[in-house]
Chain A
Amino acid sequence: MNVFINGKNFTIAHSDNQHECVINQALQQFLNEDQQQTTFAVALNSDFVGRADYDNTPIKDGDSIDVLFPIQGG
């Protein structure tokens, strides 16, 4: 399955008999181990997805996922 994560094309590996992916699969493959332990927040197609919903929010081909981290700001 191909999605966009932070504006770049990203292929999510999944088993042949898996009909649906959820957002948590994308995050686990996109983020390194350190980042999975850090603070981040997610939006799917510009809508916020709360942490509690990562395992039950389906994604489909062409979806756009934003994974945001704290940075300095004014």
Chain B
Amino acid sequence: MSLTIYGQQLDSRLLIGSALYSSPQVMKEAILASGSQVVTLSLKRQNPADNSGAKIWQYIQDIVTQTNGFLLPNTAGCKNAKEAITLARMSQEIFNTDWIKLEVIGDDYNLQPDPIELLKATEQLISEGFKVLPYCTDDLVLCQRLSDLGCEVVMPWASPIGTGKGLMNPYNLETIRLRLPNTTLILDAGIGKPSDACLAMEMGYDGVLLNSAVALADDPVVMAKAFALALQAGEFGYSGGTMPERQTAHPSTPTLDTPFWHQNEA
């Protein structure tokens, strides 16, 4: 179970978000239970009277230290390339990383990425030396363009952020996997159940990035473990090679010398 992101080998194929948990302690326990070594986080305005962000930041630092892990800052909330580029530069200074989960939202209703602005921002940030992990739709040509620009990792959505609807369009996702065999593909957003993550891995995806599915579960720690196991099952399912699907039934028990049945037909 190892995943390589921009040359960095990781023990887990799960990337996990730090938002929406009921408390910082639950967040920490769930992320540790998941086995993930990549934690996403963000930057926001904060007024002097409110110091709550400092506590969260301390927890996230503790997690990364404990897991020997990595921070993956995002550009959540950005609506054009300029905003995303500025936020990426700010994140680079704060978090001392050139990794950026690049999000440029084009529609407020379903938080669908804006492909035009995403490509613009990707091109600029790569020219500045960033290691871009773009969050995008399950559009093959967009994924190809991102890969052509130099993204070693591309992250198509399963479905809109936070919906938990799972893999909306398996055909598209399978096609992207087939057509981009040398790109690290991470399924990002919309995962609801461990079986969704397992399915992505069975398709040959390299990893899964999720947040709400664990954070909003009744028991986030148990759910985090379930996802860890689901990814492992899916990876083995893919590497084991699934049997070919058939249109007609085939008995699995040998039929030669079957007792009792058909004896009246002789």
A interface residues with partner B (beta carbon < 8 Å): 6-8, 30-32, 34-35, 38-43, 46-48, 50-51, 66-74
Contacts and interface: CB of A to CB of B under 8 A. Distances in A.
A71 B71 CA distance: 12
Tell me which of A8, A35, A41 has the highest count of chain B C-beta atoms within 10 A of its own C-beta: A41
A73 B74 contact: yes
B20 interface: yes
A74 B54 CA distance: 17
A69 B60 CA distance: 13
Nearest to A34: B51
11 contacts: A31-B48, A32-B48, A41-B91, A46-B82, A48-B86, A48-B89, A68-B87, A69-B44, A69-B53, A71-B41, A73-B42
Interface of B is mostly: mixed
Shortest Cβ-Cβ A-B pairs, 9 listed: A73-B42, A74-B17, A74-B211, A41-B90, A48-B89, A68-B43, A72-B18, A6-B45, A70-B57
A71 B90 contact: no
B56 A70 contact: yes
B57 A69 contact: yes
A24 B106 CA distance: 34
Nearest to A6: B45
Contacts of A71: 41-44, 46, 53, 56-57
Contacts of A70: 41-43, 53, 56-57, 60, 94-95
B161 interface: yes
Contacts of A7: 45
Contacts of A74: 17-20, 40, 42, 74, 76, 161-162, 211-212
A42 B46 CA distance: 12
Contacts of A43: 86, 90
A73 B53 contact: no
B47 interface: yes
Interface string B10-44: 00000001111100000100000000000011111
Contacts of B45: 6-7, 66-69
